Structure 1
């Protein structure tokens, strides 16, 4: 099984959004036995909390249920458990790389490396913005996750 971890700062906006979107895409493709997904943050402020209310509302408006997700912090075991660790922005990426063991065999990269628009590198943090920011985040993440799923889909699936 290929396992994917989405990482943002607090694990209440961007990474749970990616988690919920990718989890639904995996289920719709019937690939639950081939691809696993989780999310976390590089910071510990929100451990145990559900996603931000605005994230949950934006998700529900697009048919995603994030209500069961709870924030957690990136930990050493994640480098043993996940094949892909995908950061939402360059700050998160730097934090992940700083904590990664030298012999980590998986991929650590930005989620938007899978976005076909080369002009956008980072998923913007909508936390301090308005509802439009959350909608933009969903669009970017959905597009990147579609490309990621294509890459991870087994040939015989």
Structure 2
């Protein structure tokens, strides 16, 4: 288990970083994390040096926008959820990204398991490291709010770690 204080893996390209976020269908958890992390990186002045992408291990939603409830939750919190289109994780991503963060243990297993560059998203959660981001798809709106809370605090920790790793702009 890692924490936000743990040093992230070194960038493959000095001065640049790439983070891939992975869930099951790429319409709820990973796109929410993508939108929030991208916003945090923009606020921190790192958007031009850190690339964030998201995907699903399954391909049945490829090309679709995020779940309407996920988008509404993000929009209500002041984020822009309109640009997302679902895509499927490809094994080549393991070599293309500096860090791959899975939303739950099943997603982690689907991408080949934990390694130096592959871990659970919430391994970097400052409140409850090592937990899973629960899939809100079959639940109510409160599940999306719960995911947003986890994503925001973890995105803050990831942004701070990237600032330490890459230096402040």
Same fold (TM over 0.5): yes
What is the CA-CA distance between 1:35 and the residue it aligns to? 0.9
TM-score by length of 2: 0.85
What is the CA-CA distance between 1:82 and the residue it aligns to? 0.6
Report whether the alignment pairs 1:19 with 2:34: yes
SS in structure 1 opposite 2:111? helix
Report whether the alignment pairs 1:133 with 2:150: no
Q: Which residue of 1 aligns with 2:117?
A: 107
Q: Which residue of 1 aligns with 2:162?
A: 152
Q: Is the 8 A contact 2:44 2:159 kept in 1?
A: no
Q: Distance in 1 between matches of 2:159 and 2:153?
A: 10
What is the CA-CA distance between 1:128 and the residue it aligns to? 0.4
For residues 93-141 of structure 1, what are the alpha-carbon distances to aligned partners after superposition, in whole Å with 9 as ceiling and x for unaligned?
011116x9xxx8x610001011123376100000000000000000001
SS in structure 1 opposite 2:136? coil
Q: Distance in 1 between matches of 2:100 and 2:129?
A: 21
List runs of 5+ in structure 2 lacking aligned partners.
1-15
Q: Distance in 1 between matches of 2:19 and 2:42?
A: 14
Q: Distance in 1 between matches of 2:124 and 2:159?
A: 10
Superposition RMSD in Å? 1.7
List runs of 5+ in structure 1 lacking aligned partners.
none
Name the count of aligned residue pairs: 152
TM-score by length of 1: 0.91
For residues 12-66 of structure 1, what are the alpha-carbon distances to aligned partners after superposition, in whole Å with 9 as ceiling and x for unaligned?
0000000000001111111122211000000011000000000110000011111
Report whether the alignment pairs 1:72 with 2:87: yes
Structure with the larger RCO, 1 or 2 (CA within 8 Å, 6+ apart)? 2
